[in-house]
Amino acid sequence: MDFDEILHHVDDSGRFQICMIILLNILALASSPHDFLENFTAAIPAHHCSVNLDNSRSEISTDINLTTEALMKVSIPMGPNQKPEQCRRFRYTQWQFLDSNISTSNITELETEPCLDGWTYDHSVFTSTIVTEWDLVCDFQSFKYYAQATSLAGHLVAGPLSGIFSDRFGRKPLLMYCSLAYGVLGTFCAFAPNFSVYCVLRFLLSASTSTIMINSLILVLEEASAQWYTTIIVLSGLFSSIGQGALGGLAYVISDWHLLQLAYALPFFIIFILFCWVPESARWLIITGKTDQAWKELQRIASFSGKKDIAQNLTTEDLRSKLKEDVNSTGKHLRIKDIIINPMIRKIVIWNSSLIFAELFSFVGLLLDVQMLGKNIFLTQILLGVIDMPSKSLTYFTLRNVKRRPLIAFLLFTTGSCITINIFISEEMYVLRLIIFILGKGSFAAFTCVSTAYSNELSPVALRSTLNAIYLAVARSAAVLSALTLATRKYFVHLPMILYGVLPIVATVSIFFLPETFNLPFTDTIKDMEKRKRLMSKNISKKEGQDFLETTEC
């Protein structure tokens, strides 16, 4: 297909593409913190039972004005760590502890009871979280993890569906409606009246985020020339890391969960307005046989880039004459069964999914060990974003000069090795463990960029959103299983980290079953992929290969 030639004639690297890249980066900044938001909105502050010195709990009726420290001393037992118990209180007020000569430790015979009057929270760090709002502590502490699991389920459910809808109905409609939905639902979530409503809204927000993440990158890639692909993918990854790091700073300034949730919801109303202006993917329109609409969108691109003469002279006959072979062969929507029945597509999905699963499975396990970075949750979040930036910047050069298969194998092996090595390093060797952690986190950051580029290069335009949605669902499933794997610590303390370290190393075998895509153009249809496979399977000359690329370039 000569679509790249047409796009170059209209404008493939001008004002329009720059504006689209800026919009994509704004989206990355706004949407990347979504999954990390509950690190702060659902943070568990220090807490203890509320105390009430009435006659029903006191052995002595008193009007003594006690300091907070004294009140805690006579009402709350001390735990093994010599800190006040969070979930128990003395059944009767222990006035004898006001005597400094009496020790409050190692007193196990005194009766205690649950927190019948609620809890008192430390508001010095967070003025409000969903934990303090609905008392999700002690026997109800697992409810916080139910909320996180519900949010994750939104990605799992919406990912595949949004990809299928995008390939059938277009990129732009889903991006518009999901941006508006995120703004509306996020605003409602900030004022959720109860925990159940909050969970439902977080589920829907995650569904909207998945759709935005999948389709925004695809839309921009399909409206730019091949020379922009590496820049677009790396910039998107960098701004995602900046967004994650900025979350730590913003959460430090906004300590109320209502306002923090609202701060990330309101920008999507502006993003919705911007998407109303964005044209639909002309490449997708042509693939699905909508040549007339593609002609209108290309005219808009040319006009926006200041090429009004080209816009006026461009006709649908020009498109049909240049694309007559492909226009006649398109127009039908590919369905999910095309992935299942086609052996080449099925093979790509299975083996590429195994690479993504292995890396994400290990990465979540790596994040769950971030206590080695310090106890300041804000600084930790900022550091996790900052660590990504050098490695993602380096991928700009590696994507342009290094083949995909050895690069992905190297990143998988490095991630697995870093986790495995840390098992054998003493916790006292803090600096060395930190260095290895940074290497592992950097390898994952680079993998996200390289894998994004590789997955899109492996996917034909007609199925690109659907395949990316499948990969996103695989990634979310890996995150869930990674978290559940921590339960194996009760059998052997190092078992989770062994699994996190070994799986990526073993998964490097999968790369041998996937084709190399370095310096090859995107394919638009399954037919193009089959042609490329036949070419790669034959021992032909470099000149013949170049002729093929020129005839199938899209």
Q: Answer yes or no: is pLDDT of 276 > 50.
A: yes
Model confidence pLDDT, tens digit, residues 332-359: 555 566 677 788 888 999 999 999 999 8
Please give the share of the chain, as a percent, with pLDDT higher than 90.
18
Alpha carbon distances (Å) from 330 to 270, 287, 317, 362, 506:
35, 6, 17, 41, 40
Q: Which residues of 38-66 are buried (b: 16+ CB within 10 A; e: fewer)?
A: bbbbbbebebbbebebeeebeeeeeeeeb
Q: What is the DSSP-derived secondary structure letter of residue 84?
A: B
Q: Judge if 1-36+131-333 and 335-522 fold alike in CATH terms.
A: yes
The reported pLDDT for the residue numbered 56 is: 42
Question: What's this model's pTM, rounded to 2 decimal places?
Answer: 0.76
Q: Answer yes or no: is pLDDT of 58 > 50.
A: no
The reported pLDDT for the residue numbered 110 is: 74
* Average pLDDT of the residues in 281-294: 81
List, in order, residues 6 or more apart from 453 with CB less than 8 Å away: 229, 230, 233, 399, 404
The reported pLDDT for the residue numbered 447 is: 92
* Average pLDDT of the residues in 534-553: 50
User: Any idea which residue has 């639902």 for tokens?
Assistant: 185
Residue spans per domain, the chain:
1-36+131-333, 46-121, 335-522
The reported pLDDT for the residue numbered 368 is: 54
Q: Answer yes or no: is pLDDT of 540 > 60.
A: no
Alpha carbon distances (Å) from 447 to 384, 452, 522:
15, 8, 20
Confidence tier at 187 by pLDDT (50, 70, 90): very high
Contact 77, 89 (CB under 8 A): yes
Q: Answer yes or no: is pLDDT of 62 > 60.
A: no
Q: Answer yes or no: is pLDDT of 406 > 90.
A: yes
The lowest-confidence range among 27-31, 228-232, 268-272 is 228-232
User: From the CB of residue 343, how many other CB atoms can be counted at a distance below 10 Å?
Assistant: 8
Higher per-residue confidence, 64 vs 363: 363
Please give the structure tokens belonging to residue 56.
């029903």
Cα 554 versus chain centre, distance: 30
Model confidence pLDDT, tens digit, residues 496-510: 888 999 999 999 999
The fourth-level CATH superfamily of domain 335-522 is: MFS general substrate transporter like domains (1.20.1250.20)
Please give the structure tokens belonging to residue 439.
């290497």
Q: Answer yes or no: is pLDDT of 551 > 60.
A: no
The reported pLDDT for the residue numbered 371 is: 45
For all residues of the chain together, what is the average pLDDT?
A: 79
CA distance 175 to 394: 30
Q: Answer yes or no: is pLDDT of 475 > 90.
A: no
Contact 159, 210 (CB under 8 A): yes
Please tell me whether residue 57 adopts helix, strand or coil conformation: coil
List, in order, residues 6 or more apart from 289 with CB less than 8 Å away: 327, 330, 331, 332
Apex CA 247: angle with CA 245 and CA 250, to 5°?
A: 125
Rg over alpha carbons for the chain, rounded to the nearest Å, is: 28
Fold of 1-36+131-333: Growth Hormone; Chain: A; (1.20.1250)
The reported pLDDT for the residue numbered 203 is: 92
SS (H, E, C) 198-232: HHHHHHHHHHHHHHHHHHHHHHHHHCCCHHHHHHH
Confidence tier at 125 by pLDDT (50, 70, 90): confident
List, in order, residues 6 or more apart from 3 with CB less than 8 Å away: 282, 283, 286, 323, 524, 554
Contact 180, 272 (CB under 8 A): yes
List, in order, residues 6 or more apart from 44 with CB less than 8 Å away: 129, 131, 136, 137, 141, 144
